[in-house]
Structure 1
Amino acid sequence: MRHPSLLASAALAIVLSLTTGAALAQEAEPATTITWKGAPEFKWGEFTFKPRGRVFLDYVDQDVDRATGLDFGASESRIRTARIGVQGTWTDQWSYVAEASIANGEANWEDLLLEYSLAEHTAITVGNFKSLSLENLTSSRYTTFMERGAFNDLIDVGRVMTLAARTGGDNWSIAGGVHGDSVNDPSTGGDEQRGAFLRAHLAPIVTDDMKLHLGVWARDRDRNDDAAFRYRVRNNTNFGDRYTDAGSSPLGAGESDTAVGVEAAAVWRSVSVQGEWATIDADLTGGGSAGATGYYVFASFFPTGEQRKYDAAAGEFGRVSIRNPLTKGGIGAVELAVRYDAADLTEFAGVAAAGEYSAVTLGATWYPFPYVRFMANYTDSKNEAQVAASDVDVQTLQVRAQFDF
């Protein structure tokens, strides 16, 4: 039987027990230390507690041009993301995160995890979290573009209930584990999906001016009694419809699949480039098999002199350090970027919408001071179906006001 909520409940119980332990520690040591790290962090003895959250306010305007049928446009002002949560540590070995998102009147768990550190670069983590892909592991607070793009949609590597172990050094890591469903997925009364994954990275060059990242990952999963896997992409926005889609019929839905991906990124002072490629081999619910591929590549430049912040031990990108923020009389940081991404679903024979996708995205971001940024993205995407009459071109303009803590 599937019980993804049991693991989440266990993690929450442990977090609550740590909080209780902190209260007891406070009785023995009444002094409370408060520091500021984007939000107040409270420390009682060996226990720390810090609130965290983010809000993304978006405006989206989209034009859809169909080869046949009516063309149309749509626009919307919306809260793209609103999250609230906590994070902290207990001694040097335990850490925890519990964060929920609120959208359309519903709340769902995002990161919900507990980690035990055996050594400086070695740890075991359990809970609901992400495990694969350089862009996917980069927090949406720090991604160069407003949306991760079609590549992330295709490989479907969101947060799921996971037991993982990792080890590494100052410039490399290996992580692997097993996973089930998302903690938010309702029970179907049967067995949840099962999977296993592995990711490794190496940063052979890490200097003040230059960073080089190389990575590889693999995942194998079986849906069991869950809904079949879907292979589809959005138009570099989560607004509007998907027009390149293998569908949910037996000709396009996955019973099980294996995915392999490679990562590369380089930073040279204020210039950076990044790209990923992945292939998916799927066994279909209707019998037979099909494959899909996807990739992206982008370049960014800070005319104000900043540099993307790279964590060589984790193999991930983080928050940009602003050289001259408005709070100190400067103009903040400016980042300009361009991305090309593509996906090929044409092996799903007999599914008209399972064609090829490609898009170019232009982006500009202003960082006035830490924890706040304003973004604008324009995407010109093309959905070339296996039946030409189903081709769709989509132009999307998006702007965002973002803050986090």
Structure 2
Amino acid sequence: MSRLSIIVSATTVLAAAPAFGAPAKATAPDLGSIIAAQQKQIDALAAEVAALRAQQAKAPAAASATAGPPAISTTQLASQQAQIDSVNAKVAQNAPAWRGGPQFNGNGFSFKPGGEVQYDFGYVSNPNNALATSNLGYNGFVRRLMVSAQGDVPGGFTYSINLNFAGGVVGYEDVILAYQPVNSKWSAQIGYMIPFNGLDNMTSNEFTSFVEASQFQDAWNNGRRIGAAVGYTADTWLIDAGLFNGAINTQATNTEWQTAVRGVYYPRALGGQLHFGASYQYRKTQVSAQGNLYQARPFTQTTSVRFVGTGPANNTGTIASGIAASGDQIFGAELAGIWGPLHFAAEAQYLMVAAIKPGQVLPPGQASTGQRLLNDPSFFSVYGEIGYWLTGETRGYSKGEFARTNIRNPFDKGGWGGVQLVGRIDYLNLTKWVGGTGSGIVAGVLNGGQQTGYQLALNWWPTDFVRFTTQYDRAQITGGPNAGAVDPTSTSLLTDRSYGVNVVTLRAQLDF
């Protein structure tokens, strides 16, 4: 019997059967036997159908395994690879690059958070224990606690924001918005910045040879100012010029201003990197308080005592007031060179003061502070240094200033880092003949004093971003406002009395 006839027969029988529970006729065959027989045939048919379906399902898979994977064209492969490369490029573009800290880039923007910590501990001797102050001796403090952000904005704009939280107050370092299109040698910037006044001051404090810049930066009050500047940078030379106002937090009385220009020629020659620079500044004081105090610390900021300065002092080392002046001019010269692990640098600056004379009548709304002098004083400072990397590094340099040095065998690569030894002689002269008499004037000479620093620093860089400095300074002072207190029994003029001060400074630094 065929499968179809069995199914038809079973269906006919089931249809003709009486309803469940209806009385059966006496002449009808044994229905239960018929149903049981037909059920066996149905079950057998269902099992055979299931077996045929399983066999049909196995056949394509076996054929596919025998034939191998379907063919893919070269065009399809190239298209898929292009898609993979595009995804990888986008991932790489948006992933942060690490340069001490993360730098994020995308769609013409970039953003790099950063910071810097400098902790100083030092000792400054009290000459003959003559000064009645607790600000000499041992002291430690946080020199800088910086939080910063730098980046790019589409259209050729860049920004730099640096806040200093050392001392528990918010201070400002560079806060600049700049414009420099890609491949352009011209640039412009506006904000709070250092006027262009010399190699040591233009170099970041992270990369200077010593814990502090040369002493004329302190003595001349060379600090940041609000201003605008333009610059042109070629392959081997640059020139920058700007017009500046006063400090960022003195808007209400900010009538001081200055102009500054600096040019640098930095060729690769004589087997190394050369640097020749010159700068000029013209500064005017605030009209409501026309005066300047020129003074310098003994090569560290762990003390506020000044042994040289252009104003009278008491026996605590504090200088009270300076010179009545409408402004000043500063002329600077720079020279440096790098040959492998050896470098040298030297700068000189000459400052001319426009003093307000006794009896000089100022216009309404103007006033002077400090001592009025008969003649205009001028002051001079110069330093020279030589440094050598004992571990073979070459000091970093970039377009008119010293830059980060790449350590050859850093700690994280199993090495001991880089070690640099630097020596410097730094001279400042604030003593000048001005004529007349007055506080701090000895035989017509303004007794600002002369300070010569004999400095030696050992810089250890475990990595490119960590630095430890041990520095010794011998400050030799001649004259100055504290000479009488230090050597009260001498018969020499105050301008000729000499004494020495020992200074030791330790610094731990991290930047990122």
Give the TM-score of the pair, scaled to structure 2: 0.69
Identity of aligned residues (%): 27
In the alignment, the residues of structure 1 paired with residue 478 and residue 259 of structure 2 have an alpha-carbon distance, to the nearest angstrom, of 33
Question: Which amino acid in structure 2 is aligned with residue 393 of structure 1?
Answer: G
| Corresponding residue SS for 2:189 | strand
Aligned counterparts, 1:93-172, within 5 A: 93-118=156-181, 119-130=183-194, 131-172=196-237
Q: Does 1:400 align with 2:487?
A: no
Partner of 1:371: 465
Partner of 1:306: 393
For structure 1, which segment, 31-40 or 93-102, has the greater mean C-alpha deviation from structure 2 after superposition? 31-40
Residues 1:32 and 1:238: Cα distance change in structure 2 (over 3 Å) = same
Conserved? CA contact 2:123–2:503, under 8 Å: yes
Structure 2 residue corresponding to 1:256, chosen from 327, 333, 347: 327
| Corresponding residue SS for 1:135 | helix
In the alignment, the residues of structure 2 paired with residue 385 and residue 142 of structure 1 have an alpha-carbon distance, to the nearest angstrom, of 33
1:326 CA displacement: 1.2
In the alignment, the residues of structure 1 paired with residue 121 and residue 473 of structure 2 have an alpha-carbon distance, to the nearest angstrom, of 14
Bigger radius of gyration among the two: 2
Residues 1:69 and 1:249: Cα distance change in structure 2 (over 3 Å) = closer
Conserved? CA contact 2:200–2:214, under 8 Å: no
Higher relative contact order (CA 8 A, sep 6+): 1
1:256 CA displacement: 0.5
In the alignment, the residues of structure 2 paired with residue 394 and residue 122 of structure 1 have an alpha-carbon distance, to the nearest angstrom, of 47
| Corresponding residue SS for 1:153 | helix
| Corresponding residue SS for 2:448 | coil
1:168 CA displacement: 2.6
In the alignment, the residues of structure 2 paired with residue 134 and residue 253 of structure 1 have an alpha-carbon distance, to the nearest angstrom, of 29
1:59 CA displacement: 1.0
Partner of 2:451: 357
Q: Does 1:220 align with 2:270?
A: no
For structure 1, which segment, 369-378 or 116-125, has the greater mean C-alpha deviation from structure 2 after superposition? 116-125
Aligned counterparts, 1:4-15, within 5 A: none
Partner of 2:84: none
Conserved? CA contact 2:220–2:295, under 8 Å: no
Deviations 1:186-209 (A, max 9, x none): 633xx52111111001013358x5
Aligned counterparts, 1:378-389, within 5 A: 378-385=472-479, 388-389=483-484
1:261 CA displacement: 0.3
Question: Which amino acid in structure 1 is aligned with residue 236 of structure 2?
Answer: N
1:68 CA displacement: 5.6
For structure 1, which segment, 146-155 or 346-355, has the greater mean C-alpha deviation from structure 2 after superposition? 346-355
Aligned counterparts, 1:219-298, within 5 A: 219-225=281-287, 227=289, 228-240=291-303, 241-247=305-311, 252-285=323-356, 286-287=372-373, 288-298=375-385
In the alignment, the residues of structure 1 paired with residue 320 and residue 120 of structure 2 have an alpha-carbon distance, to the nearest angstrom, of 34
In the alignment, the residues of structure 1 paired with residue 411 and residue 131 of structure 2 have an alpha-carbon distance, to the nearest angstrom, of 49
More strand by share: 1
| Corresponding residue SS for 1:187 | helix
Question: Which amino acid in structure 1 is aligned with residue 139 of structure 2?
Answer: E
| Corresponding residue SS for 1:38 | coil
| Corresponding residue SS for 2:406 | coil
Question: Which amino acid in structure 1 is aligned with residue 334 of structure 2?
Answer: E
For structure 1, which segment, 368-377 or 114-123, has the greater mean C-alpha deviation from structure 2 after superposition? 114-123
| Corresponding residue SS for 2:266 | strand
| Corresponding residue SS for 1:338 | strand
Q: CA RMSD in A?
A: 2.3
Give the TM-score of the pair, scaled to structure 1: 0.86
Deviations 1:157-205 (A, max 9, x none): 21111110000311100110100012133633xx521111110010133
Give the paired residue count: 372
Deviations 1:342-391 (A, max 9, x none): 11111164526501111101100111111101111011102211575355
Partner of 2:146: 83
Conserved? CA contact 1:67–1:389, under 8 Å: no
Residues 1:53 and 1:386: Cα distance change in structure 2 (over 3 Å) = closer
| Corresponding residue SS for 1:354 | strand
Structure 1: gaps (5+ residues): 1-28
Structure 1 consecutive aligned stretches of length 4 or more whose deviation exceeds 4 Å: 66-73, 248-251
